[in-house]
Amino acid sequence: MALQCGIVGLPNVGKSTLFNCLSNAKAQSANFPFCTIEPNVGVITVPDARLNKLVDMCQPRSVVPATVEIVDIAGLVQGASKGEGLGNKFLANIRETDAILHVLRCFDDDNVTHVHNTVDPVRDKEIIDYELQLKDLETVESRMAKTQKQAQTGGDKVAKLQYEVLKKYHDALSQGKPARTVELETVDEQKFAHDLFLLTSKPVMYVCNVDDASAVGGNKYVEAVREAIKDENAQLLIVAAQTESEIAELDTFEERQEFLAEIGLEESGVARLIRAAYALLNLQTFFTAGADEVRAWTFMRGSKAPQCAGVIHTDFERGFIRAEVIKYDDYVALGTESAVRDAGKMAIEGKNYVVQDGDIMHFLFNV
């Protein structure tokens, strides 16, 4: 599924360092603004202990993990909504992504310059929020001008609905609130809102880039960000990008685990970030497992069995008959598919079954 998370932030907050840790594609990482001009795209494996367990059990000839696409976008500066810096390119690149990983500098280091000369992640957040909100307000006002007359004088019900949605967004944005804080009640409202492609309607995670000593518990900067976003529909994650870059250079899994243990972490921040990005995109995983292949398949949360069958092949969805479903925990506990069958733990599900994260699936179809 070609859904993408975009990494955004002011220049020199650690975006490209973090991207380099996430991906084999090496973005430039330099101590000056705009070292990333074109967005770098990395297709990144999603860490999943369940896949590893299934591989141990099945010993397959082939293994295919789930992936997520991460885009490293050039740093934004104040005035981007008016074209300052790389503003228009930056905003266009964000518009093409499905969710935002907003990196904030939460560390002191005299050797790394800050575009505003002081470390203040809440201010940095507000600068980008303001630029994105200004651009969204411009979009909303343009659409309002087109629909207002139809809504008020033409008796057009669709135009009236659209105008009401636009007004909700206008009120929120005018108060300095992101579009994602607006609650929409009907499917028609939600569909129209989606088609507006507002920048601040995208799900967002604030990634606090901290120093090594703050990798476990955070610091005063992280707490300031946490307080600033408490009323937003947003998440927060703590990562020490410089530490992660050191971990990424280690050759073996054992070396990486030993390094993590020394600094008090059970797993790397990158692993947590990848999984968080996957969830931020509203993605989940089902598995197919056997001697030939163990594979993690990506689907949208809430999808039904035929749509998940279509992830494997369109013919599977078109000719869907039924799905055989094994719960991951049952498979692990009983050891084999035949043992699961014998125990009566395999469910036969039809077209209305909502696939759950971790389900092990076998689809029957006929075309």
Give binding residues for ATP as ranges.
12-17
Alpha-carbon span 112 to 107, nearest angstrom: 10
- The residue ranges of DSSP E strands in 122-268, in sequence order, are 204-209, 235-239
Alpha-carbon span 302 to 189, nearest angstrom: 20
Q: Give 288's DSSP letter.
A: E
Contact 124, 107 (CB under 8 A): no
Alpha-carbon span 68 to 149, nearest angstrom: 43
Q: How far is CA 152 from CA 146, 308, 324, in A?
A: 11, 43, 53
Side by side, which strands form the sheet with 67-72? 40-45, 67-72, 4-8, 99-105, 204-209, 235-239
Alpha-carbon span 265 to 270, nearest angstrom: 12
Of residues 138, 6, 5, the one with CA closest to residue 82:
138
Give me the amino acid identity at 16. Answer: S
3-state DSSP assignment of residue 36:
coil
- 314 Cβ neighbours under 8 A, 6+ residues apart: none
* DSSP sequence for 239-286: E-HHHHHHHHT-SSHHHHHHHHHHHT-SS-HHHHHHHHHHHHTTEEEE
Alpha-carbon span 320 to 315, nearest angstrom: 8
Binding residues: 12-17
- The residue ranges of DSSP E strands in 173-215, in sequence order, are 204-209
Contact 265, 258 (CB under 8 A): no
